[in-house]
Amino acid sequence: MPLVTFKQEDQLGEIVIDNPPLNLFNADVLSDLRSAVDQAAHSDIRALLVRAEGSDFSAGADISVFTDLDQAGADELEETVLALIAAIEALPVPALALIHGQCYAGALEVCLACDLIWAAEASQIGQIEAVAVGHPIRRRNPTHRIADRRLARCRDGIHRSRPAAADAGVLGASSTGWCRRTASPKKAALSPRIS
């Protein structure tokens, strides 16, 4: 069974991460997530929710991903992650990330690639790479300025609560209702992607 799935109800798509207990990102999650994003891109959805099962969106990467990683493997992993993020950013429909519990590292990068982020009140959000290795994952798409500005506000590695993340400008305000209204077949054609 895949650890990330794409579902569609009417014209609302939903990508669901389900890798208990912490929804850690490993090679299988990255592969399944890319597959789900590709399915969403080729569907007739008008809006997309990105969410996770369990008590956390994701506590970040499974450290086994980095075990015995040489330079070639690190380059391949980086390209895989950057291609995934670029695919999310290129989706032709608005995407809303729904954060709850912990959301760190690459999981935050996935959320930042979405157009909007909604975080539950008790969420903890942070960019662990800034503390663990001295710098976050490189951004590669200079045209995606909203995500870059949000990421820049996370680069200090501080783990923020939802209110603090909102105050820092990391989060946008929205809800699943917005996504459902956007996906409604009764709506006129969508305006171009939010950027």
Domain layout of the chain by residue ranges: 4-183
Q: What percent of the chain has pLDDT over 70?
A: 65
Q: Is residue 29 very low, low, confident or very high in pLDDT (cuts 50, 70, 90)? A: very high
Q: Any idea which of 24-38, 40-54, 122-136 has the lowest mean pLDDT?
A: 122-136
pLDDT tens-digit map of 62-113: 988 888 888 898 889 889 999 999 999 999 999 999 999 999 988 999 998 9
pLDDT for 186 equals 52
Q: What is the pTM of this model?
A: 0.73
Residue 103's DSSP bridge partners are 58, 125
CATH number of 4-183: 3.90.226.10
* CB atoms near residue 165 (< 10 Å): 25
| Segment 8-16 mean pLDDT | 96
Distance CA 176, CA 178 (A): 5
Burial of 195: CB neighbours in 10 Å, binned 0-12, 13-18, 19+: exposed
